[in-house]
Amino acid sequence: MKRRALTLMLTGCLCGLAGHFVKLQAQQTAQFTQTMLTTLSYNPGFAGLSNGLCVSGLYRQSWGAIYDGAAENRTKVNPWCGLLLVDAPVKALKGALSAEVLTDNIGFFKDVSFKLGYTYHLRTSIGHIGIGAQGVFLNKKATYSKFDGKVGGDPTFTGKGDESALLGDVTVGAYLQGSRDYFAGVSMSHLVPQYNENFGYRVQGPHLYLNGGYNFSFPELPKIQFTASGFMQTDFRCVDWSISGLASFNRQFWGGLSVRMDALSLLAGLNISKLRVGVAYDVNLNKMIKASTMPGSLEVFFKYCFKLDTDKMNTVYKNARYL
């Protein structure tokens, strides 16, 4: 058991070092620190595996406050996003339904997306598998009227007004909730190529997501459970990755560390009855800290599950993240 956990962590470290040395950078889609808690946001196969009607929310603010302009014309332009997730198993459908609302903001660009999905559940000898798909409606908006080109007659902004576009998309994914304390998932988003003349560039491209982990404990520490996990996303041009280690005490409190390409993150949280609350703080390792009001990013997460009278999965999990 210990050997498997160490193998997973070493593999994650090697992948991370490989990404670092080839100087890969983060890509377009929103990236959260608490990826082990927001699996549904990038993999529809996870829907319904918590055995209840679950509502999750997350707010993330990156780099404190960064402003563009001066005096009364100053505009706050640092990235921030809000996420709302809902999922529930439906016995009659032999699976689950899910929904998501996400607003992703950076500078004078704003994306608002809405997803609806269905996930089919399979019970196998290796665990429970969810295979899901989501339809996506995405509204992209660029407020070009607030751009200051600094140079008069800049052709990039000449004649540009505020632009918006409504796009359709599809996300698919599969998730394994293993019977022996492991979990793994693979998914793809932006499967429908999009090009919008108003924006003048390709606004979406296919993205691949991989995640996995292992829960383990030591006989000497019976009240403490550990989880080692890894996450990777790529648009086939750039890669973003993270590896995390969490320790939960008596299924009530947890804390840990996460490392990714541009940040070292501290994580903590607690369970209060059916409510789970998590907080993450990223210590930035890039040059953006010189322009911000704080040297990191703050992320707050919550999840509340209402138990439903459905066929419960006869599986005992040693990790408090399964509510």
DSSP per-residue string spanning 112-175: EEEEEEEEEEEEETTEEEEEEEEEEEEEEEEEGGG---SSTT-TTTTT--EEEEEEEEEEEEEE
CB–CB of 279/267 below 8 Å? yes
CA distances, 102 to each of 12, 25, 31, 37, 60 (Å):
28, 23, 12, 16, 11
Could you name the CATH architecture of 2-307? Answer: Beta Barrel (2.40)
Give the chain's count of helices (H) and strands (E): 1, 18
pLDDT 10s digits, 157-172: 666 677 888 889 999 9
Exposed, middle or buried by CB within 10 Å (0-12, 13-18, 19+), for 110? middle
CA distances, 261 to each of 89, 200, 218, 237, 284 (Å):
35, 30, 30, 15, 10
- Domains of the chain: which residue ranges? 2-307
Is 90 exceeded by the pLDDT of residue 153?
no
Q: Distance between CA 119 and CA 275 in Å, rounded? A: 24
**Which amino acid makes up residue 245?**
G
**Quick one: pLDDT at residue 201?**
52
Put simply, whether the predicted model's pTM sits higher than 0.85 gets the answer: no
Name the 3-class secondary structure at 19: helix
**Quick one: pLDDT at residue 264?**
92
Q: Exposed e or buried b for every residue in 186-204, given b needs 16+ CB within 10 A?
A: bbebbeeebebeebeeebb
Q: How confident is the model at residue 251 (pLDDT cuts 50, 70, 90)?
A: confident
Highest average pLDDT, of 23-37, 72-86, 109-123, comes from 109-123
Q: Which residue has the tokens 């908006």?
A: 141
**Which amino acid makes up residue 267?**
L
Share of the chain above pLDDT 90, in %: 53
CB–CB of 157/77 below 8 Å? no
Q: Distance between CA 173 and CA 12 in Å, rounded? A: 21
Q: How confident is the model at residue 107 (pLDDT cuts 50, 70, 90)?
A: confident
CB–CB of 51/300 below 8 Å? no
